[in-house]
Structure 1
C-alpha cells in the first residue's frame, strides 16, 4: 500500500503515519503524490484541500483507494446549502428530528445596506421579514433575535446579531458614489471618441476598492467547502480571482465594522438561541466530530469539546462584543484560549449545569441529529454531497444546548482545524487514531483482533448506514474542472 499524508494540520502528520503502520506494517509513505506508481493497486491519502484534482486521478487509477475528501460536500459545509437540505428534508418529514433541533434559518442574498428591504422581501422564507417587523414595537429584551452568517466563511468572520431591519442594514457596507436608487439599471453614454459604454463601466474607478454594487464573482456560488477553517476567502486586485489567506487573518471589514457584503453576497440569518446555560459565566457550544465513510456510513466520536467564548456572557440587547456571543476559538489568540481554557472536555463539564444526566442525553441527541443531517444531505442534494466508496470525510459539527436541555445544530465544518494545546491537542491525536482505524477497516485492513485497535474503534459510534439505501453510484472517476 502506498500512502500520502500531508493534512491541513501538519503537526498531526507523523501521528497519522504511525496509526496507519498499526494496520499495514509495510506501507510505503511518499512525500509527493507523483511518487505513487501508476500501477499501485492500493493507495491511501490523507491530504489538505489543495490540488485535489491530482489526488483524485491517483484514486481513480488504484483498484483499492481511499481519500479524505468527497468531490463535493457543499450540502453540509455551506451554510446556505445546509439550510436548503434541512428545509427539503423536513418539508416531507415533519417528524424528523431536524425539525426541532435546527434553528429556523433564512437564506439571504445581500449586497449593500440600501437594499436590505428588497433582499428580505425576495427571500424564499418571509419568516425573518415578519419577525423583524414585529420587533420594531417591542422592547429589546422582548424581541426575537437573529444571527447573520456569511454562507462560505468560517473562523467567525462576518458574524453579527440583530433584531430589526435597521440593525441588519447597519452591519452591511454602504454603496459608494451611488447617484441612482437602482444600481442594476445603467445608462449608455457616448464618449468623445464616439464609443458607447455603460455608465457604470465609465465610473468603475470611482467605486471603493474597484468593486461595483453589481459585482458578481465568477465561481463564488459554486466554490466548494475546501475554503474552511484552514483558511479564509479574500479577493485580490483582479475581479473574480480567489485565493486563500492564512488562518490567522480574518475577513477584512471597514473601519465602521460593516461587512464587505459585495464580496460575499450569500448569507444565512439564523434564529439566535438566547437561553443558554453559562459555563463559568461564559457562553459555550459543543464541537462534535463526525466521520463519514463511503456511501454512506457515519460515525460520531465519543469525545467532544466544550468551546467557550472569551468574555462573560451578555444578552444580545446589551450590545455585547464578539468576545461575548462568539464561541469560535478562531477569534481568540493563543494566549487567550490557553490562559482562559477556552477548549475543554465536554464530559468534564459540571454535572449540575442542567438537570439529571444531561450530558448523556446531549450525546444521544447529537448522534441522532448527526445521522439525520447526513441522511438529508445525501438524499436531497446528492449533487452537492457526492458520496463515493473511495472517499471519506471528517466533519466538525457545532451544537448549542439551551436551558431546557434541547440540542441545536448550528453548522457543519469540513476539514476542521486542530490545536496542539491542552485537552484539544490530546483529543485530536486520539481522534486520528479512531479515524484511521475506521478508514483501514473500510479498506479491509481492520485488524480488530488486536485489543489496542479494538479499544480505539469503540470510540467511534456508528449512527448511520445508508449503504443499501443509496444504492450503487454511477460515477466511475473524478475529472478535475478545467
Structure 2
C-alpha cells in the first residue's frame, strides 16, 4: 500500500477507532496495535467525527469521509459482494474463466472452483421452468442418477447466496430430492400461518430456529438467490483420534485468512486452520429420507456430540501446520491410507492455496468491479474456506486439489479457540505492519524500514501471494 503524504507531526497524534462485537477479537486487535504502534490514541466508542484509522465491524464504520478523502484508512472495502456473496462469487469466477479461455491463459481457478449454476427462486413450482432452461445440464445428470445406487451417483450441494454459518446448505442427487428441498424451504401458507399465530407458538420470524436438518432451515422468500455446485469427491481425511483404536477419517475444510490491501495486494496468513467435522466421513447417503449432512458440514458452529451438545471448538480446530506427521486417508469402499503428511506436502499445499485465493481476488477486480471496488485507503481480512481433495487417479498422497468454497467478511476469529490465540495476535501484528504503519508513514516498534514485499515473500506471518492494479480506483 502506497503511504499517504501524512505530515510527521500528525503521526504522533494518530487516532484510531477499534470496535468489534466479539470481546475475543477486540482484545487481540487492541493488543496488536499497542504492541506495534504504542503512541496510537485508541478508542472503542463510536466517534462523532471519523478518526484517521477505523478498524471495526463493517456495520459501525463511518464510510462517508474515507470514501472521498484518501488520507483516512478503513478496515473494509465498501463494496465487496462479488467475493462475499456465494452466487455472485460463482458468477464472477465464471466470467473471469471465460476471459482466460478466450485469451488462452491458464487459471488456478479452472480446477479451483467446482462447476455449478446460479438460480433465483422463491417457490418450488418455479423449479420446472428452471430445469428446462438454466439448469438443463443439471437435469440431465439428475435423470441419469435415477435408479443408481447412492455410491454411484453424482451429488450436488445447494447453498443460499446470502446465508452464513451453514444455514440452508443441502445435498441432493435427483430431481425429487431437489424439489423436496425447496418444498421444505417454502413459507407456510396463509391458513397455516393464521393457525400458528392463533396458538401463539410460531410465525415467520421463527424460521431460522427450525430444527430442519441440523437447525439450518431457511425460507426461499428470504434467501431467493442460490448456487448449486458439484460435490467434490475424495476429500482428504484425517483421524483426529489417530492411534486410539478404529481408524475413522474426518472431513475438514481450511480456513485461510486473506488480507487484501489497497488497490491491491493479496496476502495469505501462515495462521491457517483446519476445521473438522465431528462425525466420521462417509460418502453421501440418505438416512430417514434425508441426506445425512453431519459428515460433510465442517462449520464449527454446527458440530454437536451424540447428545446434541456443542463440541468444544478446540477439539475440532487444528493449525494446518500441525497436520505434519499425521496419516492422510481417503474413503472409497472403506478408508484407504494415502500416506503420511510431511513439511513438503504442507508447503506445496499452502502455495497452491495462495494461488487460488489470489486468482479469486483478481477475478473480482477484473470481472466484479461493480460489486468489488478496491480503494487505496482500505484493507480487509477475509476468512476464506477451501477444501482439499485427492486427485481422481491418486493412489498415494500427492499435492491435493484445492477447491475454493467461499469468502467470508468479518470472519469469526473466536472459532480459532484459546489454544491458538497467540497465533492470531502475531497475525494481527503483521496486519498493522503491512497495512497500517506504511499507509501513515509510521516507524514500528522493533522494525527497521524495509523494501516492499515481493511476490512469494514471507514476512510477519504473511505471504504476499497476489498483486494487481485497478484502473481508476479513485473517483
TM bin (shorter chain): 0.7 to 0.9
Q: Give deviations 1:365-388, integer Å, cap 9, x for gaps.
A: 101011100000011011100111
Deviation at 1:17, TM superposition (A): 2.4
Q: Residue 53 of structure 2 is aligned with which of 38, 41, 44? A: 44
Is 1:74 the counterpart of 2:81? The answer is yes
What are structure 2's unaligned runs of at least 5 residues? Answer: 1-13, 196-202, 240-248, 329-337, 392-399, 451-456
Is 1:429 the counterpart of 2:425? The answer is yes
CA distance in 2, matches of 1:339, 1:26: 36
Is 1:26 the counterpart of 2:39? The answer is yes
Deviation at 1:148, TM superposition (A): 0.8
In structure 2, relative to structure 1, the CA distance for the partners of 1:267 and 1:252 (3 Å cut) is farther
Is 1:341 the counterpart of 2:319? The answer is no
Which segment drifts farther, 323-332 or 160-169?
323-332
Deviation at 1:60, TM superposition (A): 4.5
Deviation at 1:332, TM superposition (A): 2.8
The residue that corresponds to 1:324 in the other structure is 295
CA distance in 1, matches of 2:130, 2:302: 29
Secondary structure at 1:327 match in 2: coil
Give the alignment of 1:269-288 within 5 angstroms: 269-280=228-239, 281-288=249-256
The residue that corresponds to 1:92 in the other structure is 99
Give the alignment of 1:265-414 within 5 angstroms: 265-280=224-239, 281-319=249-287, 321-332=292-303, 336-338=310-312, 341-351=315-325, 352-353=327-328, 354=338, 357-404=344-391, 405-414=400-409
Contact 1:305 1:344 in 2 (8 A): yes
CA distance in 1, matches of 2:136, 2:356: 26
Deviation at 1:286, TM superposition (A): 0.8
Which segment drifts farther, 101-110 or 130-139?
130-139
Deviation at 1:457, TM superposition (A): 3.9
Taking only aligned residues, the RMSD between alpha carbons, in angstroms, comes to 3.1
What are structure 1's unaligned runs of at least 5 residues? Answer: 179-204, 211-234, 238-248, 476-482
CA distance in 2, matches of 1:279, 1:363: 17
**Matched residue count:** 406
Secondary structure at 2:259 match in 1: strand
Deviation at 1:61, TM superposition (A): 6.8
CA distance in 1, matches of 2:420, 2:85: 25
CA distance in 1, matches of 2:301, 2:207: 9
Q: Give deviations 1:167-204, integer Å, cap 9, x for gaps.
A: 111112365798xxxxxxxxxxxxxxxxxxxxxxxxxx
Secondary structure at 2:168 match in 1: coil
In structure 2, relative to structure 1, the CA distance for the partners of 1:14 and 1:140 (3 Å cut) is closer
Contact 1:434 1:459 in 2 (8 A): yes
Contact 2:37 2:444 in 1 (8 A): no
Deviation at 1:255, TM superposition (A): 5.8
Contact 2:81 2:371 in 1 (8 A): yes
CA distance in 1, matches of 2:219, 2:281: 27
Q: Residue 410 of structure 2 is aligned with which of 408, 415, 425? A: 415
Which segment drifts farther, 456-465 or 350-359?
350-359
The residue that corresponds to 1:165 in the other structure is 175
In structure 2, relative to structure 1, the CA distance for the partners of 1:67 and 1:376 (3 Å cut) is same
Deviation at 1:359, TM superposition (A): 1.5
Q: Give deviations 1:253-283, integer Å, cap 9, x for gaps.
A: 4768864222211111111112113211211
CA distance in 1, matches of 2:228, 2:21: 29
TM-score by length of 1: 0.76
